[in-house]
Amino acid sequence: GATIGIVGGGQLGRMLALAAARFGYRIAVLDPAADCPASQVANEMVVGPYGDEAAMRRLAGLSDVVTYEFENVAVEPIRKALGDTPLSPPAEALEVSQDRVVEKAFLNGIGVATAEWRAIDAAEELAHALLDLGGDCILKTRRFGYDGKGQARISAQTTFSDAFEAIGSAPAILEKRVPFAFELSVIAARGRDGSVAAYDPAENVHTLGILKTSTVPGRIPPEIADAAKAVAGQILTRLAYVGVIGVEFFVGNDGTLLVNEIAPRVHNSGHWTEAGCLVSQFEQHVRAIAGLPLGPTARHFDCVMENLVGDEVRRFDALVAEPATMVHLYGKAETRSGRKMGHVTRVAPLSKPL
Ligand code: ATP
Ligand code: MG
Ligand code: MG
Protein backbone atom coordinates (compact mmCIF):
# COMPACT_ATOMS: atom_id res chain seq x y z
CA GLY A 1 0.00 0.00 0.00
CA ALA A 2 0.94 3.64 -0.29
CA THR A 3 2.86 5.34 2.53
CA ILE A 4 2.04 8.75 3.98
CA GLY A 5 4.98 10.59 5.54
CA ILE A 6 4.23 12.98 8.39
CA VAL A 7 6.66 15.62 9.63
CA GLY A 8 5.96 15.81 13.35
CA GLY A 9 4.80 13.05 15.69
CA GLY A 10 2.73 14.94 18.27
CA GLN A 11 -0.96 14.37 18.87
CA LEU A 12 -1.98 15.77 15.49
CA GLY A 13 0.40 13.42 13.68
CA ARG A 14 -0.90 10.57 15.79
CA MET A 15 -4.54 11.30 14.96
CA LEU A 16 -3.68 11.62 11.25
CA ALA A 17 -1.90 8.27 11.45
CA LEU A 18 -4.91 6.63 13.12
CA ALA A 19 -7.20 7.90 10.36
CA ALA A 20 -4.78 6.86 7.58
CA ALA A 21 -4.48 3.36 9.05
CA ARG A 22 -8.25 2.84 8.60
CA PHE A 23 -7.73 3.26 4.85
CA GLY A 24 -4.84 0.82 4.83
CA TYR A 25 -2.10 3.39 4.28
CA ARG A 26 1.29 2.89 5.87
CA ILE A 27 2.63 5.72 8.01
CA ALA A 28 6.17 7.07 8.35
CA VAL A 29 6.75 9.77 10.97
CA LEU A 30 9.69 12.15 11.37
CA ASP A 31 10.17 13.41 14.93
CA PRO A 32 13.14 14.11 17.20
CA ALA A 33 11.63 11.86 19.89
CA ALA A 34 11.56 8.11 19.20
CA ASP A 35 8.71 7.76 21.74
CA CYS A 36 6.56 10.65 20.44
CA PRO A 37 2.73 10.20 20.55
CA ALA A 38 2.55 9.16 16.87
CA SER A 39 5.26 6.51 17.30
CA GLN A 40 2.68 4.17 18.85
CA VAL A 41 0.74 4.20 15.57
CA ALA A 42 3.44 4.69 12.91
CA ASN A 43 4.82 1.85 10.79
CA GLU A 44 8.19 3.58 10.44
CA MET A 45 9.93 6.22 12.55
CA VAL A 46 12.59 8.56 11.22
CA VAL A 47 14.20 10.04 14.32
CA GLY A 48 15.84 13.40 13.69
CA PRO A 49 15.41 17.16 13.95
CA TYR A 50 12.43 18.59 12.04
CA GLY A 51 14.51 20.96 9.93
CA ASP A 52 17.18 18.40 9.05
CA GLU A 53 17.54 17.83 5.31
CA ALA A 54 19.02 14.32 5.71
CA ALA A 55 16.18 13.21 7.99
CA MET A 56 13.61 14.64 5.59
CA ARG A 57 15.29 12.85 2.70
CA ARG A 58 14.91 9.58 4.60
CA LEU A 59 11.23 10.37 5.22
CA ALA A 60 10.71 11.19 1.53
CA GLY A 61 12.39 7.92 0.55
CA LEU A 62 9.78 5.99 2.53
CA SER A 63 6.77 8.07 1.42
CA ASP A 64 4.47 8.49 -1.58
CA VAL A 65 3.26 11.84 -0.24
CA VAL A 66 4.56 13.95 2.65
CA THR A 67 2.47 16.12 4.95
CA TYR A 68 3.12 17.91 8.26
CA GLU A 69 1.40 18.46 11.58
CA PHE A 70 2.87 21.88 12.36
CA GLU A 71 3.67 24.99 10.37
CA ASN A 72 7.26 25.61 11.46
CA VAL A 73 8.85 23.15 9.03
CA ALA A 74 11.86 24.82 7.39
CA VAL A 75 10.80 25.43 3.79
CA GLU A 76 14.09 25.25 1.85
CA PRO A 77 15.35 21.99 3.43
CA ILE A 78 12.02 20.26 2.87
CA ARG A 79 11.80 21.50 -0.75
CA LYS A 80 15.29 20.17 -1.47
CA ALA A 81 14.87 16.92 0.43
CA LEU A 82 11.55 15.99 -1.14
CA GLY A 83 12.56 16.32 -4.77
CA ASP A 84 9.72 14.67 -6.71
CA THR A 85 7.80 13.44 -3.67
CA PRO A 86 4.68 15.62 -3.43
CA LEU A 87 4.23 17.87 -0.37
CA SER A 88 0.65 18.54 0.70
CA PRO A 89 -0.30 21.18 1.75
CA PRO A 90 2.13 22.97 -0.59
CA ALA A 91 5.28 24.77 0.55
CA GLU A 92 3.59 28.14 -0.17
CA ALA A 93 1.14 27.42 2.65
CA LEU A 94 4.11 26.95 5.01
CA GLU A 95 5.72 30.18 3.86
CA VAL A 96 2.55 32.16 4.39
CA SER A 97 1.60 30.74 7.78
CA GLN A 98 4.96 30.52 9.54
CA ASP A 99 5.61 34.26 9.54
CA ARG A 100 2.88 36.54 10.90
CA VAL A 101 3.93 39.47 8.68
CA VAL A 102 3.90 37.39 5.48
CA GLU A 103 0.59 35.89 6.60
CA LYS A 104 -1.16 39.22 7.17
CA ALA A 105 0.26 40.70 3.96
CA PHE A 106 -1.04 37.66 2.04
CA LEU A 107 -4.49 37.87 3.63
CA ASN A 108 -4.86 41.61 3.09
CA GLY A 109 -3.53 41.15 -0.45
CA ILE A 110 -6.41 38.82 -1.34
CA GLY A 111 -8.93 41.16 0.28
CA VAL A 112 -9.28 39.34 3.63
CA ALA A 113 -9.53 41.68 6.63
CA THR A 114 -7.27 41.28 9.69
CA ALA A 115 -6.43 43.36 12.74
CA GLU A 116 -4.44 46.45 11.81
CA TRP A 117 -0.73 45.65 12.04
CA ARG A 118 2.80 46.96 11.57
CA ALA A 119 6.02 45.01 11.06
CA ILE A 120 8.57 45.78 13.77
CA ASP A 121 12.10 45.04 12.61
CA ALA A 122 13.86 46.91 15.40
CA ALA A 123 12.86 48.06 18.89
CA GLU A 124 13.16 51.73 17.83
CA GLU A 125 10.22 51.32 15.45
CA LEU A 126 7.83 50.35 18.21
CA ALA A 127 7.05 53.82 19.54
CA HIS A 128 6.02 55.14 16.14
CA ALA A 129 3.97 52.04 15.27
CA LEU A 130 2.18 52.15 18.61
CA LEU A 131 1.23 55.78 18.04
CA ASP A 132 0.17 54.92 14.51
CA LEU A 133 -2.17 52.16 15.67
CA GLY A 134 -3.52 54.23 18.55
CA GLY A 135 -2.37 52.34 21.65
CA ASP A 136 -3.78 49.07 23.08
CA CYS A 137 -1.85 46.57 20.98
CA ILE A 138 -0.30 43.11 21.09
CA LEU A 139 3.35 42.60 20.21
CA LYS A 140 4.04 39.12 18.81
CA THR A 141 7.09 37.33 17.52
CA ARG A 142 6.84 36.93 13.74
CA ARG A 143 7.72 33.23 13.92
CA PHE A 144 7.47 30.18 16.19
CA GLY A 145 4.66 31.42 18.46
CA TYR A 146 1.97 28.97 19.61
CA ASP A 147 -0.48 28.67 22.53
CA GLY A 148 -0.12 32.43 23.03
CA LYS A 149 3.65 32.20 23.65
CA GLY A 150 5.81 35.01 22.32
CA GLN A 151 3.11 37.66 22.84
CA ALA A 152 2.88 40.73 25.05
CA ARG A 153 -0.03 43.13 25.43
CA ILE A 154 1.24 46.69 25.33
CA SER A 155 -0.17 50.15 25.77
CA ALA A 156 1.26 53.62 25.80
CA GLN A 157 2.35 52.96 29.39
CA THR A 158 4.47 49.90 28.61
CA THR A 159 8.19 50.47 28.38
CA PHE A 160 9.39 49.10 25.10
CA SER A 161 12.28 47.21 26.61
CA ASP A 162 9.77 45.38 28.83
CA ALA A 163 7.66 44.46 25.83
CA PHE A 164 10.59 43.12 23.86
CA GLU A 165 11.92 41.27 26.88
CA ALA A 166 8.55 39.56 27.24
CA ILE A 167 8.54 38.18 23.70
CA GLY A 168 12.25 37.66 23.14
CA SER A 169 13.34 39.97 20.35
CA ALA A 170 12.62 41.51 16.94
CA PRO A 171 11.58 40.80 14.23
CA ALA A 172 8.10 41.15 15.56
CA ILE A 173 4.64 42.28 14.55
CA LEU A 174 2.51 44.83 16.36
CA GLU A 175 -1.22 44.15 16.13
CA LYS A 176 -4.05 46.37 17.19
CA ARG A 177 -5.97 44.57 19.93
CA VAL A 178 -9.37 43.55 18.56
CA PRO A 179 -12.32 44.02 20.95
CA PHE A 180 -13.99 40.85 19.73
CA ALA A 181 -17.36 39.49 20.95
CA PHE A 182 -16.02 35.96 20.52
CA GLU A 183 -13.62 33.87 18.45
CA LEU A 184 -14.47 31.23 15.89
CA SER A 185 -12.56 28.94 13.57
CA VAL A 186 -13.35 27.20 10.32
CA ILE A 187 -11.88 23.82 9.45
CA ALA A 188 -11.97 23.44 5.68
CA ALA A 189 -10.39 21.22 3.06
CA ARG A 190 -9.44 21.36 -0.59
CA GLY A 191 -9.01 18.21 -2.67
CA ARG A 192 -6.57 17.55 -5.49
CA ASP A 193 -9.41 18.19 -7.94
CA GLY A 194 -9.94 21.68 -6.48
CA SER A 195 -13.17 20.84 -4.66
CA VAL A 196 -13.64 22.62 -1.32
CA ALA A 197 -15.57 21.53 1.77
CA ALA A 198 -15.93 23.26 5.14
CA TYR A 199 -17.19 22.09 8.52
CA ASP A 200 -19.47 24.23 10.64
CA PRO A 201 -17.44 26.90 12.47
CA ALA A 202 -16.73 26.43 16.18
CA GLU A 203 -16.80 29.09 18.87
CA ASN A 204 -13.47 28.96 20.69
CA VAL A 205 -12.56 29.97 24.22
CA HIS A 206 -8.91 30.29 25.29
CA THR A 207 -7.54 30.11 28.83
CA LEU A 208 -4.05 31.51 29.42
CA GLY A 209 -3.44 31.51 25.66
CA ILE A 210 -4.34 27.81 25.26
CA LEU A 211 -7.52 26.66 23.53
CA LYS A 212 -9.90 25.44 26.24
CA THR A 213 -13.19 24.71 24.46
CA SER A 214 -14.62 24.59 20.95
CA THR A 215 -18.42 24.68 20.78
CA VAL A 216 -20.53 24.00 17.71
CA PRO A 217 -22.75 25.79 16.86
CA GLY A 218 -21.94 28.08 19.81
CA ARG A 219 -23.13 31.66 19.38
CA ILE A 220 -22.54 31.66 15.64
CA PRO A 221 -25.49 32.80 13.48
CA PRO A 222 -25.84 31.02 10.10
CA GLU A 223 -24.94 34.08 8.02
CA ILE A 224 -21.68 34.57 9.93
CA ALA A 225 -20.93 30.86 9.59
CA ASP A 226 -21.44 31.09 5.83
CA ALA A 227 -19.28 34.21 5.52
CA ALA A 228 -16.44 32.58 7.50
CA LYS A 229 -16.63 29.41 5.38
CA ALA A 230 -16.45 31.54 2.23
CA VAL A 231 -13.28 33.27 3.47
CA ALA A 232 -11.68 29.89 4.24
CA GLY A 233 -12.55 28.69 0.73
CA GLN A 234 -11.00 31.79 -0.80
CA ILE A 235 -7.76 31.22 1.14
CA LEU A 236 -7.62 27.57 0.08
CA THR A 237 -8.11 28.40 -3.56
CA ARG A 238 -5.57 31.23 -3.59
CA LEU A 239 -2.92 28.92 -2.10
CA ALA A 240 -3.73 26.10 -4.59
CA TYR A 241 -4.03 24.16 -1.36
CA VAL A 242 -4.45 20.42 -0.91
CA GLY A 243 -5.40 19.19 2.58
CA VAL A 244 -7.14 20.55 5.69
CA ILE A 245 -6.66 24.10 6.96
CA GLY A 246 -7.72 25.85 10.17
CA VAL A 247 -8.69 29.52 9.91
CA GLU A 248 -9.08 31.48 13.17
CA PHE A 249 -11.37 34.53 13.25
CA PHE A 250 -12.35 37.35 15.60
CA VAL A 251 -16.07 38.19 15.50
CA GLY A 252 -17.01 41.76 16.37
CA ASN A 253 -20.21 42.82 18.14
CA ASP A 254 -21.56 43.96 14.77
CA GLY A 255 -20.68 40.60 13.18
CA THR A 256 -17.51 41.85 11.48
CA LEU A 257 -15.10 39.01 10.71
CA LEU A 258 -11.34 39.49 10.97
CA VAL A 259 -8.93 36.61 10.34
CA ASN A 260 -6.53 36.12 13.25
CA GLU A 261 -4.27 33.44 11.77
CA ILE A 262 -4.27 30.39 9.57
CA ALA A 263 -2.86 26.94 10.37
CA PRO A 264 -1.96 24.80 7.32
CA ARG A 265 -2.91 21.54 9.02
CA VAL A 266 -5.53 19.82 11.09
CA HIS A 267 -6.44 22.08 13.99
CA ASN A 268 -7.20 21.63 17.68
CA SER A 269 -10.54 23.43 17.27
CA GLY A 270 -11.59 20.74 14.76
CA HIS A 271 -11.23 17.76 17.10
CA TRP A 272 -15.02 17.76 17.64
CA THR A 273 -15.42 16.50 14.05
CA GLU A 274 -14.36 13.00 15.11
CA ALA A 275 -17.50 12.83 17.27
CA GLY A 276 -19.84 15.07 15.30
CA CYS A 277 -19.29 14.10 11.67
CA LEU A 278 -19.04 10.91 9.60
CA VAL A 279 -15.66 12.02 8.30
CA SER A 280 -13.35 13.72 10.80
CA GLN A 281 -10.87 16.47 9.91
CA PHE A 282 -8.14 13.79 10.14
CA GLU A 283 -9.74 11.47 7.60
CA GLN A 284 -10.55 14.52 5.47
CA HIS A 285 -6.88 15.50 5.39
CA VAL A 286 -5.87 11.96 4.45
CA ARG A 287 -8.51 11.88 1.71
CA ALA A 288 -7.30 15.20 0.29
CA ILE A 289 -3.58 14.43 0.22
CA ALA A 290 -4.15 10.89 -1.06
CA GLY A 291 -6.19 12.21 -3.98
CA LEU A 292 -9.45 10.64 -2.77
CA PRO A 293 -12.77 12.50 -2.96
CA LEU A 294 -13.44 14.79 0.02
CA GLY A 295 -15.89 13.32 2.52
CA PRO A 296 -19.14 14.78 3.87
CA THR A 297 -18.81 17.64 6.39
CA ALA A 298 -22.41 17.60 7.64
CA ARG A 299 -22.65 17.75 11.43
CA HIS A 300 -24.84 15.19 13.20
CA PHE A 301 -24.58 16.46 16.79
CA ASP A 302 -24.13 19.67 18.68
CA CYS A 303 -20.64 19.35 20.19
CA VAL A 304 -18.51 20.81 22.93
CA MET A 305 -14.85 19.82 22.70
CA GLU A 306 -12.75 20.46 25.80
CA ASN A 307 -8.98 20.12 25.96
CA LEU A 308 -7.51 18.13 28.84
CA VAL A 309 -4.47 20.22 29.75
CA GLY A 310 -1.84 19.04 32.25
CA ASP A 311 -3.39 17.48 35.37
CA GLU A 312 -6.88 17.56 33.90
CA VAL A 313 -6.09 14.24 32.27
CA ARG A 314 -6.86 12.79 35.72
CA ARG A 315 -10.53 13.34 34.92
CA PHE A 316 -10.31 10.44 32.49
CA ASP A 317 -12.02 7.91 34.78
CA ALA A 318 -15.02 10.17 35.34
CA LEU A 319 -15.27 11.31 31.70
CA VAL A 320 -15.09 7.84 30.24
CA ALA A 321 -18.10 6.88 32.39
CA GLU A 322 -20.28 9.63 30.85
CA PRO A 323 -22.98 8.47 28.42
CA ALA A 324 -22.58 11.00 25.57
CA THR A 325 -18.87 11.71 25.63
CA MET A 326 -15.99 10.74 23.38
CA VAL A 327 -12.61 10.78 25.15
CA HIS A 328 -9.30 10.86 23.31
CA LEU A 329 -5.91 10.65 25.05
CA TYR A 330 -2.64 11.25 23.24
CA GLY A 331 -0.46 8.64 24.95
CA LYS A 332 2.03 11.16 26.35
CA ALA A 333 4.12 9.47 29.01
CA GLU A 334 4.74 12.58 31.06
CA THR A 335 2.06 14.97 32.33
CA ARG A 336 3.32 18.55 32.38
CA SER A 337 1.45 21.74 33.25
CA GLY A 338 0.19 23.50 30.12
CA ARG A 339 0.68 20.36 28.02
CA LYS A 340 -2.24 19.11 25.93
CA MET A 341 -2.79 15.53 27.16
CA GLY A 342 -6.09 14.73 25.49
CA HIS A 343 -9.54 16.06 24.74
CA VAL A 344 -13.13 15.17 25.32
CA THR A 345 -16.15 15.87 23.11
CA ARG A 346 -19.64 15.96 24.60
CA VAL A 347 -22.43 15.52 22.07
CA ALA A 348 -26.12 16.40 22.17
CA PRO A 349 -28.85 16.09 19.53
CA LEU A 350 -28.75 18.82 16.87
CA SER A 351 -30.36 22.01 18.15
CA LYS A 352 -31.29 22.74 14.53
CA PRO A 353 -32.07 19.86 12.17
CA LEU A 354 -29.84 19.38 9.08
P1 ATP B 1 -2.28 29.12 18.46
O2 ATP B 1 -2.02 28.21 19.61
O3 ATP B 1 -3.76 29.22 18.09
O4 ATP B 1 -1.41 28.91 17.26
P5 ATP B 1 -0.82 31.60 18.75
O6 ATP B 1 0.19 31.50 19.81
O7 ATP B 1 -0.38 31.51 17.33
O8 ATP B 1 -2.01 30.59 19.04
P9 ATP B 1 -2.70 33.79 18.34
O10 ATP B 1 -3.72 32.91 17.76
O11 ATP B 1 -2.13 34.85 17.49
O12 ATP B 1 -1.50 32.99 19.01
O13 ATP B 1 -3.26 34.46 19.65
C14 ATP B 1 -3.73 33.67 20.74
C15 ATP B 1 -4.98 34.29 21.32
O16 ATP B 1 -4.68 35.60 21.82
C17 ATP B 1 -6.07 34.52 20.28
O18 ATP B 1 -6.83 33.36 20.05
C19 ATP B 1 -6.85 35.65 20.96
O20 ATP B 1 -7.64 35.14 22.01
C21 ATP B 1 -5.73 36.50 21.54
N22 ATP B 1 -5.30 37.50 20.53
C23 ATP B 1 -4.30 37.36 19.65
N24 ATP B 1 -4.18 38.45 18.86
C25 ATP B 1 -5.15 39.30 19.24
C26 ATP B 1 -5.57 40.60 18.79
N27 ATP B 1 -4.96 41.25 17.80
N28 ATP B 1 -6.64 41.16 19.42
C29 ATP B 1 -7.26 40.52 20.44
N30 ATP B 1 -6.91 39.32 20.89
C31 ATP B 1 -5.88 38.69 20.31
MG1 MG C 1 -0.77 30.11 15.90
MG1 MG D 1 -4.17 31.05 17.29
Q: Which pLDDT tens digit goes with each residue over 193-239?
A: 999 999 999 999 999 889 999 999 999 999 999 999 999 999 999 99
Ligand 1: residue whose CA is nearest its atom 2: 147
> Same domain for 189 and 334?
yes
CA of 64 to the centre of ligand 3 (A): 31
Average pLDDT of the chain, as a whole number: 95
Task: For residue 111, tell me if it sits in a domain.
Answer: no
In the chain, % of residues over pLDDT 70: 98
CATH number, domain of 63, equals 3.40.50.20
Residue that finishes a domain, picked among 176, 204, 219: 176
State whether ipTM is beyond 0.95: yes
Span from the CA of 103 to the centroid of ligand 3 (angstroms): 13
Residues 148 and 186 reside in one and the same domain: no
Residue 231 shares a structural domain with residue 300: yes
* Most informative mutation of 99, 151, 185 for ligand 1 (most atoms within 8 A of CB): 151
Report how many domains make up the chain: 3
Residue positions forming the annotated binding site for ATP: 100, 140, 145-151, 175-178, 183, 206, 260-261
Structure confidence by residue, pLDDT tens digits, 226-274 = 999 999 999 999 999 999 999 999 999 999 999 999 999 999 999 999 9
Does residue 103 form part of some domain? no
Residues surrounding ion ligand 2 at CB below 5 Å: 261
Looking at the fold, whether 153 and 68 belong to one and the same domain comes out as no
Residues 127 and 149 in one domain: yes
29 located within any domain: yes
**Mean pLDDT to the nearest integer, 323-343:** 96
Compute the distance between CA of residue 95 and CA of residue 240 in angstroms, rounded to an integer: 13
**CA 97, 103, 108, 114 torsion-angle sign:** positive
Task: Tell me the C-alpha to C-alpha distance, in Å, between residue 151 and each of 78, 103, 145, 163, 224.
Answer: 28, 17, 8, 9, 28
Would you say residue 108 lies in a domain? no
CATH number of the domain that residue 306 is part of: 3.30.470.20
Whether residues 316 and 219 share a domain: the answer is yes
The rounded distance, in Å, linking the Cα atoms of 227 and 216 is 16
Please tell me whether residues 145 and 63 are part of one structural domain.
no
147 C-alpha vs ligand 3 centroid, how far in Å? 7
Give the nearest ligand 1 atom to 100 CA. 11
Residue 166 has pLDDT above 90, yes or no: no
Helix (H/G/I), strand (E/B), else coil: 245: strand
The reply to whether 7 and 133 lie within a common domain is no
- Check pLDDT > 80 for residue 354: no
**Could you tell me if 172 and 188 lie in one domain?**
no
pLDDT in tens, 65-82: 999 999 999 999 999 999
The residue nearest atom 20 of ligand 1, judged by CA position, is: 206
Ligand 1 mean position to 317 CA, how many Å?
A: 32
341 within domain boundaries: yes
- Residue 51 confidence (pLDDT): 83
Domain-located, residue 309: yes
pLDDT score for 122:
87
Does the residue 109 lie in any domain?
no
pTM, two decimals, is 0.97
Are the CB atoms for 272 and 303 separated by under 8 Å?
A: yes
Lowest-pLDDT range, 161-165, 191-195, 332-336? Answer: 161-165
- Please give the distance, rounded to the nearest whole angstrom, from the Cα atom of residue 158 to the centre of ligand 2: 24
Nearest to 180 by CA among 224, 210, 229: 224
187 and 162 part of one domain: no
pLDDT in tens, 6-63: 999 999 999 999 999 999 999 999 999 999 999 999 999 999 998 889 999 999 999 9
Do residues 51 and 140 both lie within one domain?
A: no
- Is residue 137 in some structural domain? yes
The domain spanning residue 137 has which CATH number?
3.30.1490.20
Q: Are 85 and 105 in contact (CB under 8 A)?
A: no
Query: With 80 as the cut, is the pLDDT of residue 289 above it?
Result: yes
- With a Cβ cut-off of 6 Å, ligand 1 is lined by 115, 138, 145-149, 175, 177-178, 183, 206, 209, 248, 260-261
Indicate the residue among 128, 143, 176 that finishes a domain: 176
Residue from 11, 259, 260 to probe ligand 1 pocket by mutation (most atoms less than 8 Å from CB): 260
Same domain, 192 and 330: yes
Query: Which residue range is the domain that position 7 belongs to?
Result: 3-87
Q: Give the single-character DSSP code of 145.
A: -
Among candidate residues 174, 204, 209, 205, the one with its CA nearest the CA of residue 187: 204
Instruction: Work out the average pLDDT over 152-178.
Output: 82
> In this model, does residue 158 exceed pLDDT 80?
no
